[in-house]
């Protein structure tokens, strides 16, 4: 076994999930992640936890949406709710065989199913959880890398001293202080939002792996201005490119895209909360510099920020509720700034301390 798999499992079990004796731990993911899943399974047992291994073929999702009838799309799995309540930690292992396997699925079906499953998602978010993307050929192709190169990229971003990342993020939060208004500006973006009373959160490997961001949920009605995202927004394998949004009184007033604009508008209209911002995040992981079409990595790129439509974070004191939480990236490395109450905290992608 690749020693990097063992080290990654150690980080996921000990640092991220913080597994304790007797705790129920669900290990969920694609069958392609088997080497890492089995190593995590072993290490959870060694810690005295109770692991549940749940790997499924990626193609199962496509089969479900192709053949599920209305009563099956409407079905609420009460047993999953009960199991989720009893589970202490969830370790999710992504690992695509084909990143476009859901591209031709009716988005209305997917959004409907997400709404049905949302109560279970909410329960799981109150527990310990972490997401990891296992390197596969499909993900390497998306990143324009060979598998060997992508493995180096993934494990290089994961296997590090996460206490140092935490210390850096604490410096960023101290710089922001108790500022009320955040302002993101570049040649094609000028957007403000109020964060007064909201809590800034650190992300140093407890929920995402790799990690590296500070984030909060803005006051829902406060967002004003416009933004053009620099990279494609990717939703269930579909790319939405050239996204431009205008906000007024916190809601999306206008939305355009150069590709898949209809999907963008459907997602914004998914429910009552999907047309508002649920998150402002600022990337702090300068070990990640390349956009690889995978949000787990892309939202952490040092020198970028991301503004997500939809569900906000209760821990950040956000109140917006939605089945959608869609992160999209704004690159500030080639020109732009982030201000906190008119104090520049980042310029041209570099933090100012």
| Per-residue pLDDT, 310 | 97
pLDDT confidence tier of residue 287, bands split at 50, 70 and 90: confident
Could you tell me the two tokens for 221? 């009605």
- How many whole angstroms separate alpha carbon 65 and alpha carbon 330? 32
Domain end residue (candidates: 130, 158, 186): 158
Q: Is 199 helix (H, G, I), strand (E, B) or coil?
A: coil
φ/ψ bin of 249: left (φ > 0), alpha (ψ from -120 to 50), beta (otherwise): left
DSSP assignment of 97-133: S-TTTTTTS-HHHHHHHHHHHHHHHHHHHTSEEEEEE
| Per-residue pLDDT, 100 | 87
Domain end residue (candidates: 158, 175, 190): 158
Closest CA to 349 of 293, 278, 296, 288: 288
| Per-residue pLDDT, 214 | 97
Identify whether the C-beta of residue 222 lies closer than 8 Å to the C-beta of residue 250.
yes
| Per-residue pLDDT, 135 | 96
Tens digit of pLDDT for each residue in 156-210? 999 989 999 999 999 999 999 999 999 999 999 999 999 999 999 999 999 889 9
Burial class of residue 1 (count of CB atoms within 10 Å of its CB; 0-12, 13-18, 19+): exposed
Measured N-to-C along each axis, helices 78-86 and 107-125 cross at an angle, to the nearest 10 degrees, of: 30
pLDDT confidence tier of residue 347, bands split at 50, 70 and 90: very high
Mean pLDDT of 121-130: 95
* The pLDDT of residue 238 is above 90: no
Domain end residue (candidates: 123, 158, 193): 158
Query: Does residue 187 sit in the same domain as residue 318?
Result: yes
- Which helix or strand (DSSP H or E) is residue 154 part of? helix 147-158
Mean pLDDT of 97-104: 89
Tens digit of pLDDT for each residue in 307-318? 999 999 999 999
- How many whole angstroms separate alpha carbon 230 and alpha carbon 298? 12
Query: Does residue 107 sit in the same domain as residue 22?
Result: yes
Tens digit of pLDDT for each residue in 13-38? 999 999 999 999 999 999 999 999 99
| CATH code of the domain containing 134 | 3.40.1830.10
pLDDT confidence tier of residue 304, bands split at 50, 70 and 90: very high
Query: Does residue 40 sit in the same domain as residue 76?
Result: yes
Q: What percent of the chain has pLDDT over 70?
A: 100
Identify whether the C-beta of residue 166 lies closer than 8 Å to the C-beta of residue 204.
yes
Query: Does residue 235 sit in the same domain as residue 169?
Result: yes
Mean pLDDT of 232-237: 88
Query: Does residue 128 sit in the same domain as residue 221?
Result: no
* The pLDDT of residue 237 is above 80: no
φ/ψ bin of 255: left (φ > 0), alpha (ψ from -120 to 50), beta (otherwise): beta
Tens digit of pLDDT for each residue in 198-221? 999 999 999 889 999 999 999 999
- Give me the domain span that covers residue 274: 162-351
* The pLDDT of residue 1 is above 90: no
The number of helices, as runs of H, and strands, as runs of E, in the chain is 11, 21
Query: Does residue 222 sit in the same domain as residue 255?
Result: yes
Query: Does residue 179 sit in the same domain as residue 306?
Result: yes
φ, ψ at 308 (rounded to 5°): -105, 135
Query: Does residue 317 sit in the same domain as residue 171?
Result: yes
Mean pLDDT of 100-106: 88
Closest CA to 262 of 106, 145, 75: 106
Strand 181-186's sheet: what is its strand order?
251-256, 244-248, 224-228, 189-194, 181-186, 337-340, 343-347, 350-351
Query: Does residue 91 sit in the same domain as residue 176?
Result: no
Mean pLDDT of 145-149: 96
Query: Does residue 196 sit in the same domain as residue 319?
Result: yes
- How many whole angstroms separate alpha carbon 119 and alpha carbon 85? 11
DSSP label at residue 14: I
> For the chain, how many structural domains are there in total?
2
| Per-residue pLDDT, 321 | 95
Query: Does residue 121 sit in the same domain as residue 205?
Result: no
pLDDT confidence tier of residue 103, bands split at 50, 70 and 90: confident
| Per-residue pLDDT, 285 | 93
Burial class of residue 12 (count of CB atoms within 10 Å of its CB; 0-12, 13-18, 19+): buried
Query: Does residue 142 sit in the same domain as residue 166?
Result: no
């Amino acid at each position: 076994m690749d020693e990097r798999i063992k080290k990654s499992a150690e980080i996921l079990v000990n640092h991220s999930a913080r597994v304790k004796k007797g705790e129920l731990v669900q290990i969920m993911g694609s069958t392609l992640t088997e080497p890492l899943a089995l190593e995590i399974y072993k290490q959870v047992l060694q810690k005295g936890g109770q692991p549940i291994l749940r790997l499924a073929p990626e193609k199962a999702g496509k089969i479900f949406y192709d053949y599920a009838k209305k009563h099956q799309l409407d079905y609420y799995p009460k047993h999953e709710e009960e199991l989720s309540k009893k589970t202490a930690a969830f370790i999710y292992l992504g690992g695509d065989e084909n990143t476009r396997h859901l591209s031709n699925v009716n988005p209305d079906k997917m959004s409907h199913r997400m709404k049905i499953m949302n109560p279970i998602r909410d329960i799981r978010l109150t527990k310990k959880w972490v997401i990891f993307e296992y390197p596969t050929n499909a993900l390497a192709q998306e990143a324009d890398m060979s598998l060997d190169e992508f493995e180096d990229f993934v494990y290089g971003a994961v296997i590090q001293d996460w206490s140092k990342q935490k210390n850096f993020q604490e410096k960023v939060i101290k710089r922001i202080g108790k500022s009320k208004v955040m302002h993101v500006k570049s040649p094609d973006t000028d957007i403000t939002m109020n964060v007064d009373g909201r809590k800034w959160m650190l992300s140093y490997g407890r929920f995402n792996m790799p990690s590296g961001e500070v984030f909060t949920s803005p006051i829902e009605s406060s967002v004003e201005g416009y933004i053009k995202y620099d990279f494609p927004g990717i939703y269930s394998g579909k790319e939405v490119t050239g996204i431009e949004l205008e906000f007024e009184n916190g809601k999306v007033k206008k939305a355009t895209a150069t590709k898949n604009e209809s999907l963008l508008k459907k997602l914004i209209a998914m429910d009552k909360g999907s047309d508002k911002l649920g998150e402002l995040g600022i990337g702090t992981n300068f070990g990640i510099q390349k956009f690889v079409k995978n949000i787990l990595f892309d939202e952490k790129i040092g020198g970028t920020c991301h503004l997500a439509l939809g569900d906000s974070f209760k821990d950040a004191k956000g109140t917006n509720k939605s089945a959608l939480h869609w992160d999209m990236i704004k690159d500030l490395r080639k020109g732009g700034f982030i201000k906190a109450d008119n104090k520049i905290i980042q310029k041209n992608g570099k933090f100012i301390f």
